[in-house]
Amino acid sequence: MSFKDQIAFVRQHIRRNRLRVFMTVLAATMGTAFLIVLASVGFGLQKTIKDDILSNQMVTQIEVYSEDMTDAKTDAMKKIGHVETVVHRKQLVPMALGELEGHTGSMNTYFTDFKDEQASGFKLAEGRFPEKPGEVIVGSQFAEQLIDESKELEEGEELATYEGKVIGQTFTFSFEGRNDENASAAWPFTIVGVKEAPGKDWAFDGYLYLDESFMEEMESAYAAASKDRSEEEDMPFTNSQVNVYADDLANVKSITQALKDDGYAVYSVSEEIEQIDVFFLALKAGLIFVGTIAILIASIGIFNTMTMAVTERTREIGVMKALGAGPKLIQRLFLMESAWIGLVGTVIAVVISYGVSFAANAVLPIIVDAALGGETGDSFEVTFSVIPWQLVLIASAISLTVAMISGWRPARKATKTDVIGALRHEL
Amino acid sequence: MIEVKGLSHSFRVGKKGKETEVPVLKELSLKAKDGEIVSIVGRSGSGKSTLLHILAGFLQPDTGRVLVDGTDLTAMNEAQRAAFRLERFGFVFQNFQLMPGLTAFENIELPLTLKGVPAPERKRKVEELMESTGLAAIRGHYPNELSGGQQQRVGIARALITEPPVIFADEPTGSLDSETEQDILNLILSLNRKYGITFVIITHDDEVAAIANRQYRMHDGELTEGGLRHVV
């Protein structure tokens, strides 16, 4: 019997028992949809947490810590395979001061290479990168730390910060020597660019970004201003902050390992994500297990339907066997029927699951927001349910396997039907 | 040619553990030459149906052999016997045994479908046969829409469709009135003459048995050859 004829035969039987098959398909659909939607919550929460972590930090960024970082070392890091760039920022240790139109404030200052910064994804909200000596870039909240200290505050009045536009402005920069006397030197800097604001509202960026070419000159000035400093108070002029950027997320792990092997203390977001992935893998496996129980319950329906089908068709099975249908063919026809129930149930379940998932992601955040009195704010972005193709594949495999197993025993029973007894059936 | 040698079979009856053996067939021998109509006549419970079931390969005998053109049916497993039946045998049943969900056309087509014959060839063959057996008018009818005589004609057409050398008929007229019975017997005779098909007919009716070239009588599991009629 050709495969096409076998399918036609099965379809003809299904048509004759539409209602019963429909109810069985419904049970299979509900079981499979339950599994997918349940597990999709695990995938959704995992995505939410990962997205939250990734929004704080570039995913390809690897932070490297070392007490004696040098440019030679960072140059060596650039040679590690799949490293896109290495940004070596040197944070000024002495207290630095800035003064702009009567407003003063302490300056958190970085010396850096703007070419490397650009390659790592350093973006400006406005302006441009420095092209001439004396040009600098400031963080998005730079102005907020410049305070007019000459103004006396009334009770309850807030400090008067610089309100004007910073771009194009020139301010004076100086820092204190170790013996608490002002460094003799002061530099006029013109702000030509403002860095893009950090992704998170709570992150503060009031930094001053200087080209590293200034460093040597300033370090000499600092040494001159600190000539009377005691040895105990000796502190480095700068602290190094090194970030290595991988060309792709997939290579972060190998670069991290290479840096660890070189003796550096390393942190990358991929390590944190790995831990989260392990936790969610266990959670998703648990959810899939619970969902599988629902499919097993549905399988009882398939078993019943197929057993009924075999019992009802005993005489027909007998006739077919008498005419020359082999046991394997009989078994295949019944297995195909249970597989059909499983397949249709799975396909409908996948469609329904995507619908439920979409609806949950659209409606639940609104409900949660309303329940919390609208205090979640714009940054409240929770994905409740995600259905990746792997989940669809796993659920389909479980559903189809269970359907086939449920149909197996009735199909075996059909093959063992005694021809003589079957032909006497309904006599 | 069908040849049966030393065939014995018994059934076990009674509660499990306390079964007793009831012999149904006792050392039977039988012969059916190609193109013959062979009848096995006997009363109910004489064992004639059991003999047919063994001849058709539905049942394995305790002892003895069933040779069909030299091939021993009793040496085959279930799947091999099924394949052999599909290739070599046709069946006509007392209760017609048509598939209720299939039309007359589809019922006749069923053995060809099982054999894997392509659909266009099946259609051509079934249409030809329905035409020649006067069934063309009822091709789309379901069994419950047909009279007993029509159902049996469909049953005979189904047995014929694969052009088997042997057709087993188990009480082929048992469910029919006398007029329809005569029609069916005439049809069997004409098919036997036209195609040279060997018919093995099981019946309790002497009139039905009378159309056979070779007649056997079954009594308490024993078979006696009752005569050879030569058709002129």
Which residues of B fall within a CB distance of 8 Å from A315?
Answer: 97
| Interior angle at CA A287, CA A283 and CA A291, nearest 5 | 170
Q: What is the CA radius of gyration of chain B?
A: 18
Give the closest residue to A113 by CA, choosing from A74, A151, A147: A74
Q: Where are the beta strands (DSSP E) in A128-230?
A: 135-138, 170-175, 187-195, 208-211
Identify the DSSP state of A413.
Answer: H
The pLDDT value recorded for residue B184 is: 80
Question: What is the distance between the alpha carbons of residues A185 and A174, in angstroms, rounded to a whole number?
Answer: 7
Give the closest residue to A303 by CA, choosing from A337, A333, A331: A337
Question: What is the distance between the alpha carbons of residues B143 and B105, in angstroms, rounded to a whole number?
Answer: 10
User: From first to last of its 427 residues, what are the pLDDT tens digits of chain A?
Assistant: 888 888 888 888 888 888 888 888 888 888 889 888 888 888 888 888 877 776 666 678 888 887 777 888 888 888 888 888 888 888 888 888 888 888 888 888 899 988 888 888 788 888 899 988 889 999 888 888 888 877 666 666 677 788 888 888 888 888 776 555 556 578 889 999 998 887 666 677 888 999 888 888 888 887 777 666 555 456 778 888 888 888 877 788 888 888 888 888 888 877 777 777 888 888 888 888 888 888 888 888 878 887 888 888 888 888 888 888 888 888 888 888 888 888 999 999 999 999 998 998 888 888 887 877 766 555 556 778 888 888 899 888 988 888 888 888 888 888 888 888 887 765 3
Tell me the mean pLDDT in the region B142-149. 88
Which residues of A fall within a CB distance of 8 Å from B56?
Answer: 322
| Closest chain B CA to residue A2 | B116
Dihedral pair phi/psi, residue A177, rounded to 5° = -80, 170
Q: Which residues pair with A266 in a beta bridge?
A: A64
Cβ <8 Å between A419 and B58: yes
Class of domain B2-9+30-228: alpha beta
Q: Where are the beta strands (DSSP E) in A212-359?
A: 238-246, 265-268
Average pLDDT, chain B: 85
Which residues of A fall within a CB distance of 8 Å from B86?
Answer: 323-325
Residues in chain A: 427
**Domain range summary for chain B, segments of one domain joined by +:** 2-9+30-228
Q: How far is B110 from chain A (nearest CA, A)?
A: 8
The pLDDT value recorded for residue A228 is: 63
**Domain range summary for chain A, segments of one domain joined by +:** 3-55+275-424, 61-247
Identify the DSSP state of A38.
Answer: H
Q: Which amino acid is at B112?
A: L
Q: Where are the alpha helices (DSSP H) in B34-177?
A: 48-56, 78-88, 104-115, 119-132, 148-160
Cα of B128 vs its chain's centroid, Å:
22
pLDDT band at residue B229 using 50, 70 and 90 as cut-offs = very low
| Closest chain A CA to residue B102 | A12
Q: How far is B156 from chain A (nearest CA, A)?
A: 12
Which residues of B fall within a CB distance of 8 Å from A319?
Answer: 97-99
Which residues of A fall within a CB distance of 8 Å from B53?
Answer: 419-420
The pLDDT value recorded for residue A156 is: 67
- Give the Å distances, CA to CA, from A122 to A85, A90, A132, A137, A284: 12, 16, 19, 11, 37
What residues contact residue A263 under an 8 Å CB cut-off, 6+ apart?
Answer: none
Closest by Cβ to A323, choosing from B78, B79, B86: B86
| Closest chain B CA to residue A17 | B101
Closest by Cβ to A325, choosing from B82, B100, B102: B82
Tell me the mean pLDDT in the region B195-201. 87
- DSSP characters for A192-206? EEEEPPPSSTT----
Question: What is the distance between the alpha carbons of residues A1 and B65, in angstroms, rounded to a whole number?
Answer: 30
By the 8 A CB rule, do B68 and B166 touch? yes
Query: Pairing relation of β-strands B214-219 and A187-195?
Result: unpaired
Question: What is the distance between the alpha carbons of residues B172 and B103, in angstroms, rounded to a whole number?
Answer: 21
Tell me the mean pLDDT in the region B18-29. 84
Closest by Cβ to B110, choosing from A323, A329, A423: A323
The pLDDT value recorded for residue A427 is: 38
Give the closest residue to A309 by CA, choosing from A7, A1, A12, A8: A12
Question: What is the distance between the alpha carbons of residues A144 and A333, in angstroms, rounded to a whole number?
Answer: 77
The pLDDT value recorded for residue A122 is: 83
Question: What is the distance between the alpha carbons of residues A416 and A405, in angstroms, rounded to a whole number?
Answer: 17
Question: What is the distance between the alpha carbons of residues B168 and B183, in angstroms, rounded to a whole number?
Answer: 18
Cβ <8 Å between B95 and A419: no
Q: What is the CA radius of gyration of chain A?
A: 35
Cβ <8 Å between B110 and A427: no
